[in-house]
Structure 1
Amino acid sequence: MKQSLLAPCASFAAISLSLLSAPAFAQDAKPSGDTDVKDIVVTASSAGKTAQNSSISVTQVSQDAILNFTPRSQAEALRSIPGLNIQDTAGPGGNSNIGVRGIPVSTGGSEYVALQEDGLPVTLFGDISFGNNDYWIRFDNNVDRVEAVRGGSASTFASQAPGAVINYVSKTGTQDGGSVGLSKAINYRETRVDFDYGGHLSDSVRFHIGGYAVDGSGPTHLPYTAEKGYQIKANITKDFADGKGYIRLNFKRMDDQEPTFTSMPALATMSGNKVTGFSMIPGIDPRQYASTGLYNQTFRVLAANGTLQQVQMQGIHPVVTSVGGEFHYEFAHNITVTDKLRWTDMSGTFSNQWTGEASTSAIAGTGTLRYADGPLKGQIYTSPFVSNSAQAYVTMSDMGSLANDLTLASKFDMGGMAKVNARAGWFHMRQTIAQDWRINNVTQSLNSTGNPVPLDLFSSTGTQLSASGLTGFNNQWGGCCGGRSYNVNYTDDAPYFELESDIGRLNVDGSVRVDIVHAGGYAYAPVAGANITISDALGSASVPTYNTASTPSERLNYTKSYASWSVGALYKLTNTTNVFVRVSSGGRFNADRLLYNDNNFTSDGKLTAGGDHLSVNTVTQQELGVKHTGHLGEVRVHGEATLYRAQVKESNYDFTAPSRGQNPFIDTVYHASGVELSGTMGWGKFSMNGYVVYTDAKDVVSHKTAFAMPKWTWLVSPTYDAGFAAIGASVSGQSSFYLGDMVTQAPGSTFVNAFVKVRPVERLEIGFNVNNLLNTLGFRANNGSLAVTGPVPGLAANQAIFDNSAMLGRTMTASIKYRF
């Protein structure tokens, strides 16, 4: 990124340097992973409140609780948070759809949900095309806990996240010591090393450093090294005297290549518009299906300069370098300043072969398909089904950002029982999105779980029409998207203000935020070009091309502002039971999703009337909840129940929709309502947590149930820890859900994970984890489709091929960890 840090850093650096030599203050240490409702909430909320005493729906999950079940993706790490609609089967590299409380995920990514590291967003927008926020973050031993705020104050204490804010809170050396661990997959190839260490350098200086390195082929048994990478994170903190605050500097470096799973087809049995069950297509196990292998580990793309280039199939490969800091200081008894700053350089690649299931006879027509590689090279392909879909190579040349959040807080004693807290702040973030898309169409075999083979099409007269399975360059999705190139940037300045008051047992608060977003840059559209002749082992073929136009098709130079607000109240019925109510309205800016969407911008880069309508989505929410923490005899209990409603004005554009036979333009209204029931209990060495969530989400324009929104989701997780050994399980599932057409209903599934830990000597821990213990064939709710329906060769009248990402099959991992 070519950005100057001088202006945003000036005040932060001046204060930091002047106070770095201040007298010391040693804060009390808290055991790592010790997270409960007494912990102060640091995410999208009023400062200084615990989860029990906050008038918001907030969940705090410790590192140990997450690691017990060895999450196979970033989204899996969030499985224990109620209210999230996590469509998590895209793999360890990210690319997951994360929704919340019936709010839709209409175009992929985390449209209304922000992922944060230590209070600053990973990306300004959660659903950047080929750049979702979960590409750039990894859960490891550096994380102390994960906090998730659903609804409520997420509208005013964060930008672009009215649905939820999920914050990875780092360890900061409050406890001396660390750990080193080795984990090894048992039924697939993966080796991972984790470490972390922290502590005090003096009475007033503490630090933490940690990271991981991973190498393997991934849980779909890819025949090459698809997982390879590392992350290093570090921070150092100087505590000021008399408990007045601290200054912290932090650093992160991540370079991690991981596979992505975009489709894992299964055979569906149909009854009308309802899928009644799933089974395997002969020879294809969706629980470990991979669309990449030895024969497409490298492939050709047509670059913007018109040359053919050989590139690698890397899955999702982000590279991140960030530096930043945090300053917190109480200048007077009632005035506190907090500033968080982070500069991040991000780049990488997204490369993947989609699976687009089709009937072989429909693709071959009167001609034939022949194996273009492998031991059957040149022979006619006779299986009834084939994959005919996108082969993508997207260069994310610059996805970097500069973020700063400055807050001034003050406390006032109004006399009697009333106390007032005021907070004013300014959030600034500049997000660059510079990408180049090279997306071809490729035909390959769909007849076995491993190593798909490219297929060449020959006409009835023997003329070769494709080579290495390639039917054209940059020609996928009708040529709309294959040769895109753009360099745009978005700057969000957001002043916000909150007033909060404690009046006896009553706590009330109100907050407002105004986001002012400026967009700039250029976009170049794909245009049709001349055919190119390419060759492979079977001969040569002339294939159509699209490439990037030489002049910009769109210019951005506009500013859009909108306001968000939130009002809430909490009343302490007893010392153990609180009730709360909250009403909120938040905005969400559509960034790069507005590009290449008919007539959104004038020639000088301003928004047209249509573009202005599409530029901001709004979410209005109402919540009523009760929280209880206490004891039932010797049993420790905490429980929450929250009724919620949401109204969503949703405008967006999904460029992949035409490939599913759907309208790419989205302009509708969703209404959702439901209830979250969650709780934890502990009795001696036994503990259990879980939730049940009911959601009723409707598209009020079409009067249909919203897609990918199961009415019921649940999780129960019991654990018994005897000290020398521990055992636990996690059972999670969901009811049926509608596919993207909002007509076809697919069944829900339940999945079981389990773990065992043995501690033969002090500080040493040996573990065994199993995900999907019962090897269940099933799907989490997401925007799937019926790619082929019978009767066709290979399918009966009541059968179809279901296109979606299945849950991975049974995966087992052994680990050893030493704490010091």
Structure 2
Amino acid sequence: MRKTITLLAVTTALFPLSAWADSPVGDAAADPAPAKSAFTTGVAKGRDLLDTAISASTLDEGDIARIGTRSVAEVIGNIPGIRAETSGTDGLTAITIRGLPLAADGSKFMQIEEDGLPVLEFGDIHFGTSTAFLRTDLSLSQVQAIRGGSASTFASNSPGGVVNFISHTGEVDGGALELSSGLNYSLGRVDFDYGAKLDDHLRFNIGGFYRQGEGPRATGYDAYQGGQIKFNVTRSFDAGYVRLYVKVLDDREPNYALAPVAVSGTDASPHYSVLPGFDARTDTASSRYIGSTLGMDQNNNPELINLHQGNRSKVRSIGLESQFDIAGWTVTDRFRYSEISGAYNETQGLAIAPAAAIAAMFGGQGATLSYADGPQTGTAITNPAALNGNGLAAYNLRINVALNSLNNVTNDLRASRVWAVGGGKLTTTAGVYASSQDVNMMWNFNTEISDYAGGGNSTLLDLTTANGALLTQQGTLSYGLSSPTGNDYHHYYDVNFRVFAPYGSINYQLGRLAVGGSLRYDAGRVSGNVYGDDLGGGRIGTATVNLNGSGPITLPETQVAVLPLSQPGLVDYNYDYVSYSVGANYRLADDLSAFARYSRGGRAGAERALYPPSINPATGQLTNPASAYDPVKQAEIGAKYRQGGMTLYVTAFWASTIDSNYQISADASGQAVVIPIDRKYSAKGVEVEGEARHGPFSLRLGATYTKAKIDSDANDPALNGNTPRHEPNFYFTAMPQFENRLMSIGANLMGVTSSYAEDNQGLKQPGYVLVNPFVELRPAKRVSVRLNVYNLFNTLAIVQASASNLPETGVVNAQVLNGRTVTGAVRLSF
């Protein structure tokens, strides 16, 4: 951190205010019209948005730099109609669109793409969401998003929408090097990007980043470490081009999952606050003292699991894109092969209570706790009420997932042609999409006891009964998660998902009117094996194993979760469904258009449906074939206005879906429970997106009003008519800015109204507004200095609270956004 502060000071000294007059940035023009660049994501051919019957948005690289965070989910959350739940990292996110349900993590109904192809075929793979394998850096040119509309027919498994992260491809010679660092936290980062034309027909671009440090929350070690490099080269021809992409990503980051906060008041009007000795905005369950745990791999061999690698993402991909004009047709093909792997580590408090109560809960009357690691290892805790100033201990679930292979192969071939018909233009498109998605991963769930100490100083706790019997092994109660149905969630997946999808569209434009429709047929093939004793059939799920390889067998080592490797569960089923979309757009005037559209799409089930009761492990068939995919219906009507320095898009929408899923919920005490979901949902609302410019002043605004409800619940009819959990009625973003050739100064505002913590409409999660100011100075040619402040007022922003009602303990597990963080950056352009 001191090095970055010094660098900023030296830069200011070398480039004084008198040098600003030489800045290459021009004066802000009076009322410049927003860019009219063609929108290309989720449509047949790129067109001006005022000529298309879709709802779409674009964020350029300048917007992303000023948002105040590099988190993929928070960047996406700045797009109207899309709401992202995250805590500042990319490995644990939940993203939804237009009120579609947020029953689990990931992005079930929305596809996330990179350069026109999906990062993963399914955005909600357990512990392996799409955002985990995507990063933003200087190589990113823009983010395009389409909500509803033709997204359901121009991509598979994307009925709600598509968000596409588009890279620079070397159209402009030059590049940039940026050094940034936290000024009130420890994290250093370097970003670079460079592109050039090697001759009239050959150009390239290379970019990436590297970062290392503890991060904005205390862990006691470098929880962030790694980066990526991306390269592409383009060879142009008279009739088209060929482009090669390469990407290598190896990055690890902490898991800012649920952490305890204090709560008081009532269900309808709760008051949340940080705990003494532990601030969920700046502290985590990660600790310098908890570096590893024991478990069993997919071959039932003991392994030492590295917890300090946090959420690790590894990608090695190569892609080929080509486009040519052939006999009047524009033929485009995109291909990518990605080797994807990594690890997921999370600590989830199953029960958080006064330390003495936790001891009595599992050890009986008179049980005591002692430190299992750290500088006080073996020391008894004689005054549990004063432990870390909050007196709390937790019965934790330690989740470790080895993402052995999420390898993905994708190809999208399409051909389009524009015909002159009857005085208008008829655009026809035909295409075929094919993909193969592996899901090979091993789940290890351990249960343990720990405290909650700030500063990255939490420790595991050993438990001893009143008669001196030790019930834990270095804080671990059991090497598994046992229940009456078996050793739950000790799972191994080795499954492949194949998708084959032909599609086509027609669009006819006559004068100011454009009408069109598109059709897609998705056929899927799912095959492989899954393992676990909760598959039924008398499978053995526990064994006695000397996990640490020395000393006597401890009590936890007599109940170690193992896989019944000789009794796999079979996965073997097919599915198919049809998606369609029809719409019309009318250009009322040069600066005004109106549109309407109706669409039906689908989302195939991923690995969440591969264990009973969803599947018969003997035959591999789904017990309910209708659960192979969830249909989504949408209707929208809107208007678009653009003149001078003003744009305004307003869209009213309605959506309906079925969701077959599993949801991690919580009871009134905060105890985590997993429930099956079989529901029908509906949502209606209005999106507003606008931008206004006047001289050096500008305002970018996005707002969404949504009213969502559970229409019917097959498992719990008492929920019928309720508002789904985590669904606020209103959320918005705004970016006011002043900009001239010397500086840019403004703020990114993000706000959300209250919502319910769970579907029973009990405990509420309060709304919040985050104020994220930024200032960028341009002291000399090709030099800029930027300061970003995230969460200026250090708001305790609750993303999710894990309790259906106000807990008697006055403590609830919650996922919160980062507290105030200040980041400085220096960029050199060349």
Q: Could you tell me the TM-score, scaled by structure 2's length?
A: 0.89
Q: Say if 1:766 and 1:448 are closer, same or farther in 2 by CA, change over 3 A.
A: closer
- Pairwise mapping of residues 440-459 of structure 1 onto structure 2 (< 5 A)? 440-448=446-454, 450-459=456-465
* Greater CA drift, 221-230 or 531-540: 531-540
Which amino acid in the other structure matches residue 374 of structure 2?
Answer: G
Aligned equivalents of 1:537, 1:529: Cα separation in 2: 20
- Pairwise mapping of residues 523-672 of structure 1 onto structure 2 (< 5 A)? 523-526=530-533, 527-532=540-545, 541-543=554-556, 544-598=559-613, 600-601=615-616, 603-608=618-623, 610=624, 612-631=625-644, 636-654=645-663, 660=671, 662=673, 664-672=675-683
Deviation for aligned residue 1:36: 4.8
1:24 aligned partner: none
Residue by residue over 1:142-166, the C-alpha shift from the partner in whole angstroms, topping out at 9 and shown as x without a partner, is 1110001111111111111111100
* Greater CA drift, 659-668 or 518-527: 659-668
Gaps of 5+ in 1: 1-33
Q: Percent identity of the aligned residues?
A: 32
Q: Say if 1:288 and 1:515 are closer, same or farther in 2 by CA, change over 3 A.
A: same
Asked if 2 retains the 8 angstrom alpha-carbon contact of 1:372 and 1:538, the reply is no
Asked if 2 retains the 8 angstrom alpha-carbon contact of 1:44 and 1:157, the reply is yes
Aligned equivalents of 1:667, 1:204: Cα separation in 2: 55
Asked if 1 retains the 8 angstrom alpha-carbon contact of 2:218 and 2:454, the reply is no
Instruction: Choose the corresponding residue for 2:782, options 749, 763, 767.
Output: 763
Asked if 1 retains the 8 angstrom alpha-carbon contact of 2:195 and 2:205, the reply is yes
Gaps of 5+ in 2: 1-31, 534-539, 713-719
Aligned equivalents of 1:364, 1:621: Cα separation in 2: 52
Deviation for aligned residue 1:534: 6.9
Count of aligned positions:
766
1:63 aligned partner: 61
Asked if 1 retains the 8 angstrom alpha-carbon contact of 2:648 and 2:691, the reply is yes
DSSP-derived class of the 1:429 partner: strand
Asked if 2 retains the 8 angstrom alpha-carbon contact of 1:37 and 1:51, the reply is no
Which amino acid in the other structure matches residue 249 of structure 2?
Answer: M
- Pairwise mapping of residues 406-421 of structure 1 onto structure 2 (< 5 A)? 406-416=413-423, 418-421=424-427
Aligned equivalents of 1:132, 1:809: Cα separation in 2: 24
Q: Say if 1:323 and 1:53 are closer, same or farther in 2 by CA, change over 3 A.
A: same
CA RMSD across the alignment: 2.1
Aligned equivalents of 2:617, 2:795: Cα separation in 1: 52
Aligned equivalents of 1:788, 1:439: Cα separation in 2: 27
Deviation for aligned residue 1:480: 4.6
Residue by residue over 1:460-488, the C-alpha shift from the partner in whole angstroms, topping out at 9 and shown as x without a partner, is 22211012110111226775544211110
Which amino acid in the other structure matches residue 639 of structure 1?
Answer: L
1:816 aligned partner: 826
Aligned equivalents of 1:521, 1:618: Cα separation in 2: 25
Aligned equivalents of 1:171, 1:723: Cα separation in 2: 24
Residue by residue over 1:119-163, the C-alpha shift from the partner in whole angstroms, topping out at 9 and shown as x without a partner, is 100000000011111111111111110001111111111111111
Deviation for aligned residue 1:393: 2.0
Q: Say if 1:545 and 1:580 are closer, same or farther in 2 by CA, change over 3 A.
A: same
Structure 1 position 706 matched with structure 2 position 724: yes
Q: Say if 1:72 and 1:808 are closer, same or farther in 2 by CA, change over 3 A.
A: farther
Aligned equivalents of 2:813, 2:280: Cα separation in 1: 10
Q: Say if 1:80 and 1:440 are closer, same or farther in 2 by CA, change over 3 A.
A: same
Which amino acid in the other structure matches residue 605 of structure 1?
Answer: G
Q: Say if 1:463 and 1:107 are closer, same or farther in 2 by CA, change over 3 A.
A: same
Aligned equivalents of 1:249, 1:534: Cα separation in 2: 47
Which amino acid in the other structure matches residue 349 of structure 2?
Answer: T
Q: Say if 1:566 and 1:629 are closer, same or farther in 2 by CA, change over 3 A.
A: same
Deviation for aligned residue 1:355: 3.2
Structure 1 position 122 matched with structure 2 position 101: no
Aligned equivalents of 1:536, 1:269: Cα separation in 2: 47
Structure 1 position 372 matched with structure 2 position 397: no
- Pairwise mapping of residues 473-484 of structure 1 onto structure 2 (< 5 A)? 473-475=479-481, 480-484=487-491
- Pairwise mapping of residues 125-274 of structure 1 onto structure 2 (< 5 A)? 125-241=122-238, 244-271=239-266, 273-274=267-268
Q: Say if 1:447 and 1:345 are closer, same or farther in 2 by CA, change over 3 A.
A: closer
1:683 aligned partner: 694
Asked if 1 retains the 8 angstrom alpha-carbon contact of 2:278 and 2:454, the reply is yes
DSSP-derived class of the 2:555 partner: strand
Aligned equivalents of 1:599, 1:62: Cα separation in 2: 43
Q: Say if 1:36 and 1:125 are closer, same or farther in 2 by CA, change over 3 A.
A: farther
Which amino acid in the other structure matches residue 622 of structure 1?
Answer: A
Q: Say if 1:700 and 1:759 are closer, same or farther in 2 by CA, change over 3 A.
A: same
Which amino acid in the other structure matches residue 380 of structure 2?
Answer: Q
* Greater CA drift, 550-559 or 430-439: 550-559
Which amino acid in the other structure matches residue 627 of structure 2?
Answer: L
1:730 aligned partner: 748
Residue by residue over 1:300-353, the C-alpha shift from the partner in whole angstroms, topping out at 9 and shown as x without a partner, is 223344443222111111111111111101112x31111000011111111232
Asked if 2 retains the 8 angstrom alpha-carbon contact of 1:37 and 1:52, the reply is no
1:320 aligned partner: 315
Aligned equivalents of 1:469, 1:265: Cα separation in 2: 19
Instruction: Choose the corresponding residue for 1:431, options 414, 434, 437.
Output: 437
Aligned equivalents of 2:104, 2:736: Cα separation in 1: 36
Asked if 2 retains the 8 angstrom alpha-carbon contact of 1:317 and 1:350, the reply is yes
1:801 aligned partner: 811
Asked if 2 retains the 8 angstrom alpha-carbon contact of 1:42 and 1:119, the reply is no
1:18 aligned partner: none
Instruction: Choose the corresponding residue for 2:290, options 291, 296, 312.
Output: 296
2:477 aligned partner: 471
Q: Say if 1:809 and 1:441 are closer, same or farther in 2 by CA, change over 3 A.
A: same
Deviation for aligned residue 1:602: 5.6
Deviation for aligned residue 1:655: 6.1
Q: Say if 1:346 and 1:699 are closer, same or farther in 2 by CA, change over 3 A.
A: same
Structure 1 position 286 matched with structure 2 position 301: no
Deviation for aligned residue 1:385: 2.3
Q: Say if 1:328 and 1:481 are closer, same or farther in 2 by CA, change over 3 A.
A: farther
Q: Say if 1:599 and 1:198 are closer, same or farther in 2 by CA, change over 3 A.
A: closer
Asked if 2 retains the 8 angstrom alpha-carbon contact of 1:390 and 1:476, the reply is no
Asked if 1 retains the 8 angstrom alpha-carbon contact of 2:725 and 2:756, the reply is yes
Which amino acid in the other structure matches residue 458 of structure 2?
Answer: P
Deviation for aligned residue 1:269: 1.8
Aligned equivalents of 1:683, 1:476: Cα separation in 2: 63
Deviation for aligned residue 1:557: 1.9
DSSP-derived class of the 1:52 partner: helix
Q: Say if 1:141 and 1:577 are closer, same or farther in 2 by CA, change over 3 A.
A: same
1:13 aligned partner: none
Deviation for aligned residue 1:654: 3.2
DSSP-derived class of the 1:94 partner: coil
1:7 aligned partner: none
Q: Could you tell me the TM-score, scaled by structure 1's length?
A: 0.90
Residue by residue over 1:234-272, the C-alpha shift from the partner in whole angstroms, topping out at 9 and shown as x without a partner, is 11111111xx3211111100001111111122111222x
Aligned equivalents of 2:586, 2:519: Cα separation in 1: 22
